[in-house]
Structure 1
Amino acid sequence: MRWFFFLLLLAPATLAVNFPWESVQLSKSDLVGYPDIAFGDATSSNATYHGPRCKVGPVDPEWPTADEWTRFNETLGGSLLKPIPPGAACYPGPNYDAAKCTYLLTTAAFSRFYSDDPLTILTDWAQGGTCVVSPVATGNCTQGGYPVYVVNATTVRDIQLAVNFARNRNIRLVIKNTGHDFGGRSTGAGALSIWTHYLKDFEYIPDYEIDRHRGQVARVSAGIEAWELWNYMDKHNTTMVVPGGDTVGAYGGWIAGGGHNSLSSYYGHGSDQVLAFQVVTADGRYRSVTPHQNADLFFAMLGGGGSTYGVLTSAIVKVYPPTQVTSLPLSFQGVRLYQFFAPTVTDAGGTLYSYVTRITNDSYTFTTTFELPNTSPSQAQALVASLFSALNQIGIPVNNTLPQSTASFAPAARTGAGDMPGNTYFGSRIFPRANWDNETIFNATFAAIRETVEAGYTFHGINHAATDKVAGYPGNTTSISPIWRNGLMHADFFDYSLFAPAAGGFGPAPPTEPQPSFKTGYAKFNSYMDLIRKATPAGGAYYNEGDVQEPGWQAAFFGGNYGRLVQIKRARDPWGLFWAPTMPGSERWVVEVEGKGDGVPSQNGPLCKSGSGWGEEERKE
């Protein structure tokens, strides 16, 4: 995933109550004689999960028959897919295709193939690694943690049908947008998947009033990717806040987790941009959500967890005037002075992106980029002058040359090509600003970072400060963790060794020497992450880029909002239809991974009751 973040622009259009496809909804006539697609009632006394211990899977007698799946597909109008993993082309068997396998290995990564595939997620280990694209594939390719069926949603009706069918037939349900998922939240063995990838409409509204907001807004669909919006930004000269990776979806899991970006210190996080949205909830109903209408959902779905409360279809979001960004690249050996300077940049509305990687036992690389919105090159040069001077004084020869100032979007047209699955494992940490306010505490923090890098883990720091003041309205009506508001840096710590080539069955080629087990490697990695957690006791973690095995994830990911989020989850989804690991209320369920997978927290197994969080009566079911 690429870490340089930009902005977007939307084209003028006339505001409608819904996009045309949102007006296509499930009707009463559809329900006649078809109880499998009936709506639910979350307020009913019977509205709770009374099924077997595990969700129904393909091997269970309760699994719909072929005729029942055919009827469901006909009701959908033919949008039900039963895809096989792309890697099947490389394995002996009926799906073997040498030409396609070669294409997947050589060309697909430069195309839209993986982004447009209904199954692919961009982290192989979360699926279970059962059908990895490989030039020397051996054994059998299996579906593993991939869903069995996929609804290619192009209308609200499609989503309602999938929600109701899965709930009424007790089938595991997952939601997939673009596949940018590093914790297995958009895939699942034996599941029915709602694929929102092709919900791509938008409309620009130059003057719109909603509550305390008056000005430009845009209505955006859930499946729009950043690259598509950057092209509109170039064309229409208007700025919005979106993620930086070309194929990351802006209005799905990104805003559900907060959504940090290059303008966090200037305009706030992604979840701070939403003024209203439309959603299909677990009962199958289509609802409008604002700070005053279905306010519990507005709070929960903006920062409080993805794939948990409903399926977002569209949103109304803030639009800003065109924003120039001045960038200053810098590369040198040494980082302490740079990090100590970070508050100066974030207080000016800027963002810092840095990487520190060990090359040898005593050799490291450090690179960073300063991004300063609405700052002239001369102003940017003056802002960092004291830092560059201090670096020169300790023998680091860096030059404070006049930086480049560019538009907040890339001028060249984009195509969204270039993503492919990988196997990176990492943890994250949000570092509180308080760790910079005291030099002793800062030194201890930096020492923990340095020790972790010296152990061989890559550090990626993003310094920003999306305070309440910066975020503006609707502010505290969303559930973004308070830890984000007090943070000065979000950092990822990458462990590339956990999935070395073919270790545990993952990767492009067999290992040339014995590989350590995932359990052993993860225990070491987590011990160094504990150093970071100890140095930041008031910190937390970003679940979109976090460790799916994060200790105390409830507090780390959601802070003091967790209790309220669980209440909303259980009130809106008493059936436990929506589930994703480390999301509010997820303690009630556990994936029983096939063969235990050497401790890899994949989704390759049935979803079953965990025995945690259920009432006595429910546990007896």
Structure 2
Amino acid sequence: MSPSLWSRAATVAVLALAGLQFPQHAAAGGSVSSPTPNTCAGKFAYESAELTDAVLADIGAQDPASAPLLGFGDDPDSGSATRPPSGPACKVFPGDAAWPSTQLWNLFNTSLGGALIKTVPLAAPCYNNWPQRNAAECQYVTDHWADPHLHANDPASTQWPLFQGRTCLPTDDPTKNCTLGGYASYSVAVTKVSQIQLALNFARNTNIRLVVKNTGHDFADKSIGAGALSIWTHKLKDLRFFSDYRCKSYKGPAFQLGAGVETEEVYRAAELNGVTAVGGECRTVGIAGGYVAGGGHSPMTTLVGMGADQVISLQVVLPNGKFVTASEDSYPDLFWALRGGGGSTYGVVTSVVIKAYPKIPVTTMTFAFLNGPNVTLDTFWAGVGAYMSYFDRFTAAGAYGYFLVVGIGPGQYLFNFMPFWGGNMTAPQLTTLVSPFLTDLANLGIEVTPNITEYASFYRAFNGSFGPEQVGASVGHAGSRLFPRDNFAVPAKRNATLAAVRYAIEAGGVLVGYNIRPAANPAANQANAVNPAWRNSTGFFILGGPSLPATATDAEIAAAAKTLTTDWMKRWRDVSPGSGAYMSEGDINEPDFQQAFYGSYYQRLYALKKKYDPTGLFYAPTAVGSEDWYITGQIPYYPTQNGKLCRKP
């Protein structure tokens, strides 16, 4: 097959088998608020509706029975973190005697102003055992299941339902049974901070599992949990632009973003205001939530650093229910941890202020090559290795590479740029940068026809290159690895890395790769909890596991996941000792996740977890402190969130 015949549709199909994604083009649109005066950001209107001790005292006076359920927890400096855990070993679960009664849930809903939602799975209209059964609605859900917006706009659904347990997927057989599985039992559709405070207090005081969801974009399905109360922040869409933000040590353009603002929305706002913002490559990533909490990589990273590096301040509801500002001089330890230390750990972020940068041009390049009659398999891999040899040079120049390596048929493999991204580059500048690489490919006998496109702004390049990702795969599973600069700059290490990659791809894996290194940026605050492995890496590779049919059994899924973790990814770990992985796009089965996702910062992060959340209100798979808990009934290598959450003895 000629590379020119390789379509995006074919790429989508291949990636879908591995539970991965490929962007489809989407049109721009939307609006943004007018620039505001030069000043420190105040609270959004929804953040002014705050629960205080005085308000709780009034509630308690009117309804004394509510006080034990809605009251605040201990202050972080009260010494409670040094006390041993007490109380039940497991979180209360539906069917337990201590599970809140329907009357109590109704009273809680009243305190929230009617914001409580009892979970109905998205695919419930496909099943006779739900009163929502409706053939037309079932068809709509089925047709749009791969659209991330469908799941982001639902209070409970997740973009990757594998670890939900696959208990309520779209079906054309309505006689099957649909259950909640790993979905939360209830969600709070948050429109003001007081609702978050009430929800945290209620969950802590009733010992109910708590989860936090914005869009549900995470490889480990961190936003789900059976029997949980979910904080759904997706409706917090407020956005402000400051043309000349002057607060604390920062002077320059900035955005204040509500917790529900997504990548595509902040990029559109930046375009309308003549600046550039740092956000994800996928459109539905929630910037203020898991993106910043995980560190956040971006097409802008090679120019200005990680997403977490851009944060000036955050508003956050602590596990004790109190609402605070985290910045360089207010809760500085929390400010450090919230920028890269993982989501669902230290509180619920309600808004964030981030830096913006001048508007820049972008030039992109795409091309693909295959092995075949004129390109042997060894030559194909030599071409991939040739690209790797330029990783250091390309990232030093501010370029960003996004590419795919995958088997497309028996003995045939594809390399595809999706694209090579030249931030702040013209077409002549990009051409000069890549010419030696293209010469190397030609010398190998690999013929390519680069398609080079200039864009006047980041947003236009983003729209021309990326789009709504394809989600919803019920069997796909992936891991990731951060490869240090020397893995590509030192020939012997590059050869070992290429061999480990080749082994996995020829065994059936799918590589979605990034040639990326966070730029050192004196204008950004890079003293944060971002995994130190990011700072010296020039390669971030995601590996999709063995292909499985949608009908795969739990045992088959577990076996494939074990192969990914203990064979394919082990070889990647072996050639990059001491490095790590990206927690938001990582393997839920990652061995020693503490070192892999958090590096040398883990013990400090764990101590802060104990300080701010001594009762263990917040839990998520592979989050800081998650090793203190377990889920009942899990299958090794297929850890669904369907059981009780219990503290380890």
Q: TM-score, normalised by structure 1?
A: 0.91
How far did 1:398 drift?
2.3
Match of 1:359 among 385, 395, 408: 408
Change in 2 beyond 3 A, CA 1:339/1:437 = closer
The answer (yes or no) to whether the contact 1:126–1:182 under 8 Å persists in 2 is no
The answer (yes or no) to whether the contact 1:351–1:462 under 8 Å persists in 2 is yes
Corresponding residue for residue 431 of structure 1: 483
2:138 aligns to what SS in structure 1? helix
Corresponding residue for residue 283 of structure 1: 320
The answer to whether 1:544 aligns with 2:594 is no
Q: Which shifted more, 177-186 or 306-315?
A: 177-186
Q: Which shifted more, 160-169 or 596-605?
A: 596-605
User: How far apart are the structure 2 equivalents of 1:413 and 1:481?
Assistant: 29
Corresponding residue for residue 324 of structure 1: 361
The answer (yes or no) to whether the contact 1:381–1:400 under 8 Å persists in 2 is no
How far did 1:291 drift?
1.9
Q: Which shifted more, 205-214 or 426-435?
A: 205-214
Corresponding residue for residue 43 of structure 2: 18
The answer to whether 1:57 aligns with 2:93 is yes
2:295 aligns to what SS in structure 1? coil
Letter in 2 for 1:153: V
Within-5 A mapping of 1:60-459: 60-95=96-131, 96-107=133-144, 109=146, 112-136=149-173, 138-333=175-370, 334=380, 335-368=384-417, 369-399=419-449, 403-410=453-460, 420-423=471-474, 424-459=476-511
How far did 1:248 drift?
1.6
How far did 1:46 drift?
5.2
Task: Provide, for residues 568-598 of structure 1, a one-character-per-residue CA deviation record: whole Å limited to 9, x for no partner.
Answer: 00001001001111111111111113xx457
The answer (yes or no) to whether the contact 2:366–2:451 under 8 Å persists in 1 is no
2:390 aligns to what SS in structure 1? helix
The answer (yes or no) to whether the contact 1:10–1:229 under 8 Å persists in 2 is no
The answer to whether 1:567 aligns with 2:607 is yes
1:332 aligns to what SS in structure 2? strand
How far did 1:566 drift?
0.2
User: How far apart are the structure 1 equivalents of 2:411 and 2:167?
Assistant: 38
User: How far apart are the structure 2 equivalents of 1:520 and 1:109?
Assistant: 25
How far did 1:13 drift?
2.5
The answer to whether 1:503 aligns with 2:555 is no
The answer (yes or no) to whether the contact 1:280–1:313 under 8 Å persists in 2 is yes
The answer to whether 1:534 aligns with 2:574 is yes
1:580 aligns to what SS in structure 2? coil
Corresponding residue for residue 462 of structure 1: 514
Change in 2 beyond 3 A, CA 1:532/1:5 = farther
How large is the RMSD of aligned CA atoms in angstroms?
Answer: 2.4
Match of 1:40 among 73, 93, 109: 73
User: How far apart are the structure 1 equivalents of 2:393 and 2:99?
Assistant: 59
User: How far apart are the structure 1 equivalents of 2:607 and 2:94?
Assistant: 32
Q: Which shifted more, 34-43 or 371-380?
A: 34-43
Task: Provide, for residues 405-424 of structure 1, a one-character-per-residue CA deviation record: whole Å limited to 9, x for no partner.
Answer: 34200389999977652232
Change in 2 beyond 3 A, CA 1:45/1:479 = closer
User: How far apart are the structure 2 equivalents of 1:241 and 1:358?
Assistant: 33
How far did 1:2 drift?
4.3
User: How far apart are the structure 2 equivalents of 1:490 and 1:280?
Assistant: 32
For this pair of structures, how many residues does the alignment match?
596
How far did 1:400 drift?
5.5
How far did 1:94 drift?
3.8
1:384 aligns to what SS in structure 2? helix
Q: TM-score, normalised by structure 2?
A: 0.87
Change in 2 beyond 3 A, CA 1:3/1:296 = farther
User: How far apart are the structure 1 equivalents of 2:469 and 2:538?
Assistant: 31
How far did 1:237 drift?
1.8
The answer (yes or no) to whether the contact 2:267–2:277 under 8 Å persists in 1 is no
Change in 2 beyond 3 A, CA 1:161/1:272 = same
How far did 1:394 drift?
1.2
Corresponding residue for residue 553 of structure 1: 593
Corresponding residue for residue 578 of structure 1: 618
How far did 1:184 drift?
2.2
Corresponding residue for residue 30 of structure 1: 56
Letter in 2 for 1:314: S
- Percent of aligned positions with the same letter in both sequences? 37
The answer (yes or no) to whether the contact 2:24–2:468 under 8 Å persists in 1 is no
Corresponding residue for residue 605 of structure 1: 643
Letter in 2 for 1:68: L
User: How far apart are the structure 1 equivalents of 2:201 and 2:463?
Assistant: 40
The gaps in structure 2 that reach 5 residues or longer are: 1-20, 371-379
The answer (yes or no) to whether the contact 2:319–2:617 under 8 Å persists in 1 is yes
How far did 1:247 drift?
1.6
Task: Provide, for residues 42-95 of structure 1, a one-character-per-residue CA deviation record: whole Å limited to 9, x for no partner.
Answer: 444556642211001111111111111111111111001102112121122243
Corresponding residue for residue 614 of structure 1: none
How far did 1:327 drift?
0.3
How far did 1:211 drift?
3.6
1:67 aligns to what SS in structure 2? helix
The answer (yes or no) to whether the contact 2:589–2:637 under 8 Å persists in 1 is no
User: How far apart are the structure 2 equivalents of 1:79 and 1:132?
Assistant: 26
Letter in 2 for 1:40: G
User: How far apart are the structure 1 equivalents of 2:614 and 2:212?
Assistant: 18
Corresponding residue for residue 13 of structure 2: none
Letter in 1 for 2:460: A
The answer (yes or no) to whether the contact 2:145–2:472 under 8 Å persists in 1 is no
User: How far apart are the structure 1 equivalents of 2:137 and 2:359?
Assistant: 43
The answer (yes or no) to whether the contact 1:258–1:270 under 8 Å persists in 2 is yes
1:297 aligns to what SS in structure 2? helix
The answer (yes or no) to whether the contact 1:358–1:364 under 8 Å persists in 2 is yes
User: How far apart are the structure 2 equivalents of 1:184 and 1:389?
Assistant: 43
2:151 aligns to what SS in structure 1? coil
The answer (yes or no) to whether the contact 2:386–2:437 under 8 Å persists in 1 is yes
User: How far apart are the structure 2 equivalents of 1:236 and 1:153?
Assistant: 28
Letter in 1 for 2:159: L
The answer (yes or no) to whether the contact 1:465–1:486 under 8 Å persists in 2 is yes
User: How far apart are the structure 1 equivalents of 2:609 and 2:492?
Assistant: 41
The answer (yes or no) to whether the contact 1:518–1:598 under 8 Å persists in 2 is no
Corresponding residue for residue 491 of structure 1: 541
Change in 2 beyond 3 A, CA 1:11/1:523 = same
Change in 2 beyond 3 A, CA 1:434/1:91 = same
Letter in 2 for 1:371: W
Corresponding residue for residue 521 of structure 1: 560
Task: Provide, for residues 23-45 of structure 1, a one-character-per-residue CA deviation record: whole Å limited to 9, x for no partner.
Answer: 00113233412221101114445
User: How far apart are the structure 2 equivalents of 1:525 and 1:217?
Assistant: 41
How far did 1:435 drift?
1.2
Change in 2 beyond 3 A, CA 1:419/1:84 = farther
1:305 aligns to what SS in structure 2? coil
User: How far apart are the structure 2 equivalents of 1:5 and 1:421?
Assistant: 18
The answer (yes or no) to whether the contact 1:380–1:403 under 8 Å persists in 2 is no
Change in 2 beyond 3 A, CA 1:412/1:434 = closer
Letter in 2 for 1:374: N
Change in 2 beyond 3 A, CA 1:4/1:374 = farther
1:251 aligns to what SS in structure 2? helix
Letter in 1 for 2:230: S
Letter in 2 for 1:350: A
2:123 aligns to what SS in structure 1? helix
Q: Which shifted more, 17-26 or 57-66?
A: 57-66
User: How far apart are the structure 2 equivalents of 1:482 and 1:73?
Assistant: 43
Letter in 2 for 1:125: L
